[in-house]
Amino acid sequence: QVQLQESGPGLVKPSETLSLTCTVSGRSISSGDYFWSWIRQPPGKGLEWIAYMYISGGTYYNPSLESRVTISLDTSKNQFSLRLTSVTAADTAVYYCARGHNYWGQGTLVTVSS
Amino acid sequence: QAVVTQEPSLTVSPGGTVTLTCGSSTGAVTSGHYPYWFQQKPGHAPRTLIYDTSDKHSWTPARFSGSLLGGKAALTLSGAQPEDEADYYCLLSYSGARPVFGGGTKLTVL
């Protein structure tokens, strides 16, 4: 069974870059034609899809975040990552990584504050 | 970007049946939107219940089922249990491979 675990700073200053990593276990991220996703949820609000990437290289971003987001894969470490630049308080959320839309990490809270 | 709409809240009696719906601002929801349904309990990550309109995971309780109904995606819960009280989100995929979540339905079992 595939398992995912998010990691990264829990506090980021406004205007700085948010960087998160998702470590995948139980399955190689190189196996199968899956896509690897990032989703977020502001406190008390609904889910928002951020981005996903296929191992074959196809990458898709939420149009509202596209100018600030980068997703990347590191097959040697069985990880994938998210970078979100120029963050504001509106980017405060629980960030989830997922394989496709079916297997989710437990989420990590990132707060944007000075 | 399309807007995906869900009932903000619904209430069902224990043992009762309830249907949650998921509509699209672009028109009728079809199987080509590959509807997903997720259950989220407080403090927990979402859990996928239904994918591709009506397919279930091994962990999906049999009392949950997915379908298309009246131009919307639907999640039906038959025989509600207290542990089904949760937030439910749908997800639709659009051209250009950009998925959009609905705003969620808060389901109360009372």
Mean pLDDT on B91-108: 92
Task: Name residues whose C-beta falls within 8 Å of residue B43's C-beta, 6 or more positions apart in sequence.
Answer: none
Task: Suggest the residue from A104, A106, A108, A109 to mutate for an interface test with chain B (most B CBs closer than 10 A).
Answer: A104
Q: Contact A106/B104, CB-based, under 8 Å?
A: no
Q: Does B51 touch chain A (CB under 8 A)?
A: yes
At residue B41, the pLDDT reads 97
Across the interface, which of A49, A63, A102 has its CB nearest the CB of B51? A102
pLDDT at residue B64 is higher than 90: yes
Residue A39 burial by Cβ neighbours in a 10 Å radius (0-12, 13-18, 19+)? buried
Place of tokens 């025989």: B79
For chain B, give the number of residues: 110
Q: Which residues of A2-30 are buried (b: 16+ CB within 10 A; e: fewer)?
A: bebebeeeeebeeeeebbbbbbbeebebe
Give the whole-angstrom CA distance, residue A22 versus residue A79: 5
Residues of A in contact with B98 (CB under 8 A): 49, 60, 62-63
At residue A32, the pLDDT reads 81
Q: Contact A101/B47, CB-based, under 8 Å?
A: no
Q: Does A48 touch chain B (CB under 8 A)?
A: yes
Mean pLDDT on B25-49: 96
Give the whole-angstrom CA distance, residue A47 versus residue B103: 7
Report CA torsion sign: A15, B44, B56, B102: negative
Residue A114 CA: distances (Å) to CA of A15, A70, B5, B33: 10, 23, 35, 41
Backbone angles phi, psi at A89, to 5 degrees: -60, -25
Q: Contact B38/A47, CB-based, under 8 Å?
A: yes
Name B55's bridge partners: B51
Q: What is the CA radius of gyration of chain A?
A: 13
pLDDT mean across residues, chain B: 96
Confidence of residue A31 (pLDDT cuts 50, 70, 90): confident
- Chain A: closest CA distance from residue B105 (Å): 10
pLDDT at residue B53 is higher than 90: yes
Confidence of residue B108 (pLDDT cuts 50, 70, 90): very high
Tell me, rounded to whole angstroms, the distance of Cα B1 from its chain centroid: 20
Residue B75 CA: distances (Å) to CA of B5, B8, B17, B91: 13, 14, 11, 12
Q: Does A66 touch chain B (CB under 8 A)?
A: no
Confidence of residue B95 (pLDDT cuts 50, 70, 90): confident
Across the interface, which of B45, B97, B99 has its CB nearest the CB of A105? B45
Mean pLDDT on A31-59: 93
At residue A4, the pLDDT reads 97
Nearest residue on chain B to A35, alpha-carbon basis:
B97
At residue A64, the pLDDT reads 94
